[in-house]
Amino acid sequence: MDGKVSAIVGNNGSPGKKVQAKSHDKALFYALLLPAFLLVTLFIIWPVVNTVFYSFYDWNGFGPLKNFVGLKNLRTLFRDPLFWNALRNNGIVILFSVCVQLPIAFLLALLVSKSSSRPTIFFRTVFFLPYILSEIITGVIWRFIYHPQFGLLQQIFAKFAPDYSYTGFLADPKTVFVSILFVIFWKYFGFHMILYVAGLQGIPPEYHEAALIDGANPVQAFIYVTLPFMKNAIQMSLFFCIIGSLQVFDVIWSMGQGGPVHAAETAVVYLYKFGIKSSKMGFGSMVAIVIFVICLLFNVLYQRVINREEK
């Protein structure tokens, strides 16, 4: 796009100057990117490369790297039912987020995107608020609410359903995961909602009105006008939702460390428990690489799909 412009505008006409400008531009391009490139390479990519190395060792992490075992960590990992349990839980988080969290975020976005009135801004601000809170605080607040002896839920049950003995949702392996899913929803739906609001505000109103004039009912207007314009927002939201679901850790860890009995354990929680806390850095590194590969595969798939659509 820029090349075309400079061809039209001409850079004072002389071709020599254009070439000079172009190479000057190129140097500038790399100079502008250098700091970001350095930071990302030094602090993200380089650790990832190291992690790949560690994964081939049965190393407790102390002292020098030793005990090369090839792919043994991978075999142990795939044979561990708890790993598949963790992956399954990740799947549940993805399913829940995509099927429940995102639609609700979309619905709320529809409700708060239309005007800039004070109430609307108020709601928008409130909905994004949990995203701002730290995971630790979120964990503390919700552990407090779920507490079996003096939490909010215990009080509510005592008042409205005194026959039901509330033993704490976080203490029962059957209910702990759902309880944490709710907190995940609470914390992150505002982020997706804001993405959708941004998308909705980018739709020119004429299209919508035109459709209605042509006789479409609101539902059809939604499907044929609103949704296509929302494609980008939805794609972005899905991307962050799925990557986030694959990497979810902090909220789960601060609400019981994935327990009791691994009921709420996800891949990164599994990694932290059986890799880092158990002093098995080699094994932990292998788990990290597997998670990274899964995210990578998803990313490749995602890029393919949106590139195909763009054609």
Partner 1 sequence: MNMRKGIVGIVAILMVVSLMVSCSGKTKSENSKVTVNFWHLDSNDLHYPEWEKIAAKFMETHPNVDIKITVLENEAYKSKLATVMQSGNPPDIFRSWGGGVMNSYAESGLLKDITNEYKNKWDSKIGEGAVGVYSYKGKIYGLPYTMGGVGIWYNKELLAKVGYNTPPETWNDFLDCVKKLKAAGITPIALGEGDKWPGHFWWVYLAVRLGGKEAFDKATIGNGSFNDEPFVKAGELLQELIALKPFQEGFLAATYGGDQAALMGNGKAAMELMGQWAPAVEIGSSADKKGIGDKLGFMSFPAVEGGKGKLTDLMGGGDGLVIGKNAPKEAVEFLKYITSVENEKFLTTGPLGIVPTAIGAETALTDPNLVAINKAVSQAAYFQLYYDQYLPPATGEVVKDATQGLFAGTMGPKEVAAAVAASYQAEKK
Partner 2 sequence: MTQIKTSRRRIPSLAEWTKFAILILFALVILVPIYLAVIGGFKTIGQLNADPVGFPKPFMAENYANIFLKSRFFAYFLNSSIIMVATVAVDVTVSAMAGFALSRFTVKTKNVIYQYFLLGLLFPMTLAILPLYIQLRAVGLLDTFIGVILPQTAFLLPFHIMIFRGFIKEIPTELEDAVKIDGCGKMGFFAHVVVPLSRPAIATVSVLAMVASWNNFFLPLIVLDDKDKFTLPMGSMDFVGQYLADWNVILAFFVVSMIPAIAFYLYAQRHIVSGLAAGAVKG
For partner 2, the binding residues in 188-247 under the rule CB under 8 A are 190, 194-195, 197-199, 201-205, 232-233, 236, 243, 247
CB of 97 to partner 1, least distance (A): 24
Stretch that binds partner 2, among 82-90, 94-102, 209-217, 264-272 (CB under 8 A): 264-272
Q: How far is residue 201's CA from residue 71's CA, in Å, rounded to a whole number? A: 51
* Sole residue written with tokens 């003995």: 165
Q: Residue 171 interacts with partner 2 (CB under 8 A)?
A: no
Q: How far is residue 168's CA from residue 179's CA, in Å, rounded to a whole number? A: 10
Residue 75 binds: one of partner 1, partner 2, none (C-beta under 5 to 8 A by kind)? none
x/- mask, partner 2, residues 27-46, rule CB under 8 A, reads: -xxx-xx-xxx-xx-xxxxx
x/- mask, partner 2, residues 140-159, rule CB under 8 A, reads: xxx-xx---xxxx--x----
State how far the alpha carbon of 98 is from the alpha carbons of 13, 248, 253, in Å.
55, 14, 22
Q: Is the peptide bond before 260 cis (omega within 30 degrees of 0)?
A: yes
SS3 57: strand
Stretch that binds partner 2, among 22-30, 69-77, 163-171, 220-228 (CB under 8 A): 22-30
Q: How far is residue 159's CA from residue 308's CA, in Å, rounded to a whole number? A: 56
Q: How many residues does the chain have?
A: 311
Interface with partner 2 (CB under 8 A), residue total: 93
Q: CB under 8 Å, gap of 24 or more: what pairs does 167-171 form?
A: 170/143, 170/146, 170/255, 170/256, 171/260
Retrieve residue 125's tokens. Answer: 């601000």
In the complex, the residues that contact partner 1 under the rule CB under 8 A are 60-64, 147-149, 165-168, 170-173, 176, 256, 259-262, 273-274, 276-281
Residue 170 binds: one of partner 2, partner 1, none (C-beta under 5 to 8 A by kind)? partner 1
One of 157, 207, 222, 249 touching partner 2 (CB under 8 A): 249
Closer CB to partner 1, 22 or 304, in the complex: 22
x/- mask, partner 2, residues 265-304, rule CB under 8 A, reads: ---x--xx---x----x------x--xx--xx--x-----
Residue 274 binds: one of partner 2, partner 1, none (C-beta under 5 to 8 A by kind)? partner 1
Residue 3 binds: one of partner 2, partner 1, none (C-beta under 5 to 8 A by kind)? partner 2
Residue 208 binds: one of partner 2, partner 1, none (C-beta under 5 to 8 A by kind)? none
How deeply is 116 buried, as exposed, middle or buried, from its count of CB atoms within 10 A (0-12, 13-18, 19+)?
exposed
CB of 246 to partner 2, least distance (A): 9
Cβ neighbours, 10 Å, residue 297: 10
Residue 7 binds: one of partner 1, partner 2, none (C-beta under 5 to 8 A by kind)? none
113 near 202, Cβ under 8 Å?
Answer: no
User: Could you give the count of Cα atoms lying within 13 Å of 10 in the half-sphere of its Cβ?
Assistant: 4
Sign of CA pseudo-dihedral 128, 133, 138, 141:
negative
- Helix 231-247 to helix 176-201 angle (10° resolution) is 150
Q: Phi and psi of 171, rounded to 5°? A: -95, -10
Stretch that binds partner 2, among 75-83, 95-103, 126-134, 168-176 (CB under 8 A): 126-134
Residue 172 binds: one of partner 2, partner 1, none (C-beta under 5 to 8 A by kind)? partner 1
One of 123, 157, 207, 222 touching partner 2 (CB under 8 A): 123
